[in-house]
Chain A
Amino acid sequence: MSALIELKGVGAAYGQSQVISGLDLAVATGGITALLGANGAGKTTTLRAICNMRVRVSGEILFAGKRIDGWQTEDIVRLGIGHVPDGRGTFVHLTVAENLVLGAYTRGDKAAVAADMERVFGYFPRLKERLGQQAGTLSGGEQQMLAIARALMLKPKLLLLDEPSFGLAPLVVQEIFRILRRINEDDSVSMLVVEQNANLALDLATDVYLLETGRVVLNGSPALVRGNEQVRRAYLGY
């Protein structure tokens, strides 16, 4: 499979503080790539580097074979790269419906937006019940659902997911990961997933990278990564 997005020798820094450097990473078209690593390894920063958001980026980033490094964040979004950031980033004072409409802001086909909202409710029926409710009054799990749903309103080709299981009850986590798999299979959305729950990430992913202090130390299939002694001890706990 060809790479939908490819990072070649990418570095990213906040001011003087270099968080990732010389990073090579790819997400195959139709694939789900998981990014594992301890806190501070540079996982969130990698997602931000792709979107050219809040970090100073060096190196090459190619989307569908085209260089996009240095592009403005809004132009990167228009390519179909949806970011579900850490902390969810929902507009807490806006309603659920308003958040979803904003997710489709960059799209030209406004007529299709209503239909897509229905499609998104197919994945997250709870949001439909809460359309008029302020996002800030939703529970943590509902806010995470809203953040994913809002990114889907972009009709993304690639979803960047920063800890989709964060703050979610065990049942909901299982549900969200089932939904992510459906979105990947039914809507052909490729994904780059940062996830601390390594078991879940390895179940979902087709390709895995392990980051340590801003560098890739291991890359391979979930089976290969599961077999790695160090990964087992630090991330899987057995």
Chain B
Amino acid sequence: MAGTDPLLRIREISLRFAGIIALDRVSFDVERGQICGLIGPNGAGKTTLFNCLSRLYAPDSGAIDFLGQPLLAIPPHRIAALGIGRTFQNLALFRTMTVRQNILVGAHSRSRTGFVSDALRLPVVRAEEAALGAEVDDLLALLDLRAVADQPAEALPFGTKKRIELARALAGKPTLLLLDEPAGGLNHDEVDQLRALILSIRDRLAITVLLVEHHMNLVMKLSDKVVALDFGRKIADGTPDQVRNHPDVISAYLGTAA
């Protein structure tokens, strides 16, 4: 039954780069409305998996179904419109553009007007722009970016840039949001705020979240389910408690101190 299918189904995906096995027959599901944490040592393949989901990389084998359809048949430029939004580990903002413009870019995938109507500035274009402007205002408010809305993204502190990226991803109205280390560079207080924000994104905007994160306190408190990778292989998959206490996860990733 289509209604009970997981939102995202990853089956046996493998990918190698010049002899290095980046992903080795990885399978897991993400259910609708879940917050799923993806953890593992540096180089385990977490970002590579994200890049397969955004179709930046093509796995050598395996299948990915999103909303019941084969994702690997979709070209990369259609991924955002299909409902997958993402942020990047090391930020990928348009540096000289303002915060507002960066967020507007995120809404581009939803634009219905074409080249000709845009060039002629038909009323439909102006109406769409006005509607988008209001949405961007909402996102600026949600992510506490109103004060810097018209500043170039480049000069802003790192934590602010992370919020701009998140706003841009949300502007595409994703069904599934991929967050690559959202807590990187945030202090304790800011991580707490981020946790509340991700929860409200899931609860109020009904967005499913898959997040790569090394901040264990955040992952374990936030996730409904956690998947652990090591050397491209899945080594654990379950509730935060199951994964946290898994001996392979402790030895490969957490260490005894955690």
B91 near A171 with CB under 8 A, answer no
A108 to chain B, nearest CB (A): 34
A169 near B258 with CB under 8 A, answer no
A38 near B187 with CB under 8 A, answer yes
Rounded to whole angstroms, the CA-CA distance of A88 and B90 in the bound complex is 9
- The reply to whether the CB of B160 lies closer than 8 angstroms to some CB of chain A is yes
B253 near A39 with CB under 8 A, answer no
Rounded to whole angstroms, the CA-CA distance of A39 and B157 in the bound complex is 6
- The reply to whether the CB of B190 lies closer than 8 angstroms to some CB of chain A is yes
Q: How many residues of B contact A (CB 8 A)?
A: 35
B187 to chain A, nearest CB (A): 5
- The reply to whether the CB of A140 lies closer than 8 angstroms to some CB of chain B is yes
Chain B residue contacts of A142, Cβ below 8 A: 42-43
A171 near B187 with CB under 8 A, answer no
B41 near A169 with CB under 8 A, answer yes
A40 near B157 with CB under 8 A, answer yes
- The reply to whether the CB of B188 lies closer than 8 angstroms to some CB of chain A is yes
A139 with B188, Cβ < 8 A, contacts A168-B214, A169-B214 known: no
A39 near B155 with CB under 8 A, answer no
Chain A residue contacts of B91, Cβ below 8 A: 87
- The reply to whether the CB of B116 lies closer than 8 angstroms to some CB of chain A is no
Rounded to whole angstroms, the CA-CA distance of A206 and B238 in the bound complex is 41
A127-164 interface with B by 8 A CB criterion: 137-142, 163
Chain A residue contacts of B44, Cβ below 8 A: 139
A140 near B89 with CB under 8 A, answer yes
Sort chain A's interface into a size bin: 35 or more
A172 with B158, Cβ < 8 A, contacts A140-B89, A167-B89, A234-B187 known: no
A17 near B160 with CB under 8 A, answer no
B154 to chain A, nearest CB (A): 9
Please tell me which one of the listed residues A39, A163, A174 contacts residue B160 in the complex, with CB atoms under 8 A apart. A39
Chain B residue contacts of A233, Cβ below 8 A: 189
A167 with B214, Cβ < 8 A, contacts A141-B43, A172-B41, A196-B187 known: yes
- The reply to whether the CB of B115 lies closer than 8 angstroms to some CB of chain A is no
A196 with B254, Cβ < 8 A, contacts A40-B159, A141-B43 known: no
B76-113 interface with A by 8 A CB criterion: 89-91
Closest to B181 in A: A167
Which of A14, A37, A88, A140 has the most CB atoms of chain B within a 10 A radius of its CB?
A140
Chain B residue contacts of A227, Cβ below 8 A: none
Chain B 150-185 against A: per-residue CB contact (8 Å), 1 yes, 0 no?
Answer: 000001111110000000000000000000010011
- The reply to whether the CB of A86 lies closer than 8 angstroms to some CB of chain B is yes
Chain B residue contacts of A139, Cβ below 8 A: 42-44, 47
A172 near B186 with CB under 8 A, answer no
- The reply to whether the CB of B216 lies closer than 8 angstroms to some CB of chain A is yes
A169 near B253 with CB under 8 A, answer yes
Rounded to whole angstroms, the CA-CA distance of A15 and B154 in the bound complex is 12
A33 to chain B, nearest CB (A): 18
Which of A39, A163, A235, A236 has the most CB atoms of chain B within a 10 A radius of its CB?
A39
Pull 17 A–B residue pairs with CB atoms less than 8 Å apart, ordered by A: A38-B159, A39-B157, A39-B160, A86-B158, A87-B90, A140-B89, A140-B181, A142-B42, A166-B184, A167-B89, A167-B214, A169-B39, A171-B253, A196-B185, A196-B186, A234-B189, A237-B188
Nearest 3 interchain pairs by C-beta: A141-B42, A39-B159, A139-B43
Known: A44-B158, A170-B214, A236-B188. 18 other contacts (CB 8 A): A15-B155, A36-B187, A38-B189, A87-B90, A88-B90, A140-B181, A141-B42, A142-B43, A166-B185, A169-B39, A169-B253, A170-B216, A170-B255, A171-B41, A171-B253, A198-B188, A234-B187, A237-B188
